[in-house]
Chain A
Amino acid sequence: MMYEFRVNELAQEFGVHRNTIRNWIKSGAIPAKEGPGRRYLMKWSDYQALCEKFGKTPKKPPTSTGAEEEEKQEITPIHLKPKTQTFYPDPSWADVCLTCGTCASACPIAGVDGMDPRKIVRMAALGMEEELIETDWVWKCTMCAKCEEACPMNVEIVQLIRKIRSLRPRDRVPGPIHKGVINCLERGNNLGIPKDDFIFLLEDLSEEMAEECCPGFKAPVDVRGARILVTVNSKEPFAEPDDMKFWWKIFYAAGESWTIPSEYWEGVNWGLFSGDDEAMKTIVGRIVDNLKRLNCEGLLLPE
């Protein structure tokens, strides 16, 4: 059975923009073919899968005769096992949740993958640890804390999500954030930019800036006794170096005494997101060492 739609209709149904639907078709995220009259066709099962992914109820198939049998769903019982790991420090915590679902209604991605914050909290209370560690949903969540703000019982949902992330084996952390942490530990910054390249870039940019607007400007590296130690988000030297000039220009105008360390200047700590306390501590410790080494008065965090 096929499902026929217009881009506009599908966009409305999922609450996204037409461009997004077109992009999804282009990238194959929606496996649809263009038909006549600006209509698209996709398999009914693909449409169902899409609905399931974002927690929507599929519309009745347009070609349905009405006599369709209700599919009998086999419900497999969940076998609960004794707890091996604890997601919360205090056993009474499990009873705090009222299961009211206010968290789920505050969450912008409730329904995606059939999950929402309430389910996460209940699964934790029931000890479904393996299932929680396996779900990608906790990585799609941005830990924005809307759920926690809405919760009438102050359940610490964000810390729970982070704890679940921390228990995923490190080689299966999605995306580059764990690699970034390793890079940062081994090479000093998340993107592994070598020291020489970094220094060269700073000199180059300084010259540009001196010409453009700020005569005599030079980015101060490793200046002992500077008032403020400045850290850098490694994506800037890597991909958007000109963006570093915004702060530099402000320092120049304010006549600030500041410095960037030549090593361990990374200001973004991905351990926070991957749930890696050990790495996070090491990386913070290096910044502290820099403060001491360069004898600065204060530290500016980049964001």
Chain B
Amino acid sequence: MTKWFPEVLKKYKIYSVFDLLLEYLKEGRIKIDPTRHPQRTTYHDPCNYGRKSLKTFGIGYFEEGRIITKECAPDFVEMYPNREGNYCCGAGGGAWAMPFKAERVYYGRIKARQIQETEAELVVTPCHNCRDQIMKSLNKEYDLGVEVKYMWELVADSLILPGQDKGESEEKKGE
């Protein structure tokens, strides 16, 4: 969009998923119940939001996802390496849809090991591709036994909705 429609950028504001969620949190437009996700949680940096965004647009989204995740799941642990040094899940660049499944699973072996080493029970990521690869492929292939959520799924599941009392949080735990 920067390349083809520069005039549009001046007129409209482009929100990434981080910008909007952070805005809601800062302005107090949404309320979060941090007790609903007591399990140990880690965050996977998607290549496109981090390393590649930094290179293409000069901004890498590294801290934003962590701030949001920690709000909802306080027992937070990092994978190593992380941020711009993070390893790809193995399904980016269209690879999730490619007919090269063996290679894709092989690619993900490093990510699987990283996740295992954190001993986290929940992996949070703001990318559709990464979530699918970790949840539907690596989790089974490498017996990780983790739960995987989109970042906005984590937020939605932590929401205290208007007119809702604390009773709801007990119900949610059963899921």
A-side interface residues toward B, CB under 8 Å? 14-17, 19-20, 23-24, 29, 53-54, 108-109, 112, 136, 139-146, 148-149, 158, 174-177, 180, 213-214, 228, 233, 235, 243, 245-247, 249-250, 252-256, 268, 270, 273-274, 281, 284-285, 288, 291, 296-303
A–B complex contacts, Cβ < 8 Å, 20 sampled: A16-B109, A16-B142, A19-B142, A20-B142, A23-B141, A109-B106, A139-B100, A140-B104, A143-B52, A175-B98, A246-B150, A246-B152, A253-B29, A255-B29, A291-B8, A297-B13, A298-B12, A298-B14, A303-B17, A303-B129
Residues of A within 8 A of B15 (CB): 228, 298-301
B contacts with A, residue count (CB < 8 A): 64
Bound Cα distance A43, B93 (Å): 34
A142 and B91: CB pair below 8 A?
yes
Bound Cα distance A69, B74 (Å): 62
Bound Cα distance A185, B16 (Å): 24
B-side interface residues toward A, CB under 8 Å? 1, 4-5, 8, 12-17, 20-21, 24, 29-31, 46-48, 51-52, 55, 84-85, 87-95, 97-100, 102-107, 109-110, 112, 126-129, 140-143, 150, 152-153, 155-157, 159-162
Residues of A within 8 A of B88 (CB): 108, 142, 144, 146
A54 and B106: CB pair below 8 A?
yes
Bound Cα distance A208, B17 (Å): 24
Bound Cα distance A213, B171 (Å): 12
Residues of A within 8 A of B157 (CB): 246
B94 and A299: CB pair below 8 A?
no
Residues of B within 8 A of A233 (CB): 128
Q: Assuming A142-B88, A270-B94, A299-B12, is B107 touching A108 (CB within 8 A)? A: yes
Bound Cα distance A15, B114 (Å): 13
Query: Count of A-B contacts with CB under 8 A?
Result: 177
Given contacts A142-B107, A246-B150, 18 further A-B contacts (CB under 8 A): A16-B105, A17-B142, A19-B140, A20-B142, A108-B107, A146-B88, A174-B99, A228-B20, A246-B157, A247-B156, A249-B161, A250-B21, A252-B161, A253-B160, A254-B29, A270-B94, A299-B13, A301-B17
Which chain B residue lies CB-closest to A267?
A: B128
Which chain A residue lies CB-closest to B161?
A: A253
A288 and B24: CB pair below 8 A?
no
B4 and A144: CB pair below 8 A?
no
Bound Cα distance A301, B20 (Å): 10
Min CB distance A281 to B, Å, is 5
B103 and A112: CB pair below 8 A?
yes
Tell which of A108, A136, A175, A281 touches B90, judged by Cβ atoms closer than 8 Å: A108
A284 and B142: CB pair below 8 A?
no
Bound Cα distance A23, B157 (Å): 34
Min CB distance B55 to A, Å, is 7
Report which residue of A109, A145, A233 has the largest number of chain B beta carbons within 10 angstroms of its beta carbon: A145
Residues of B within 8 A of A299 (CB): 12-15
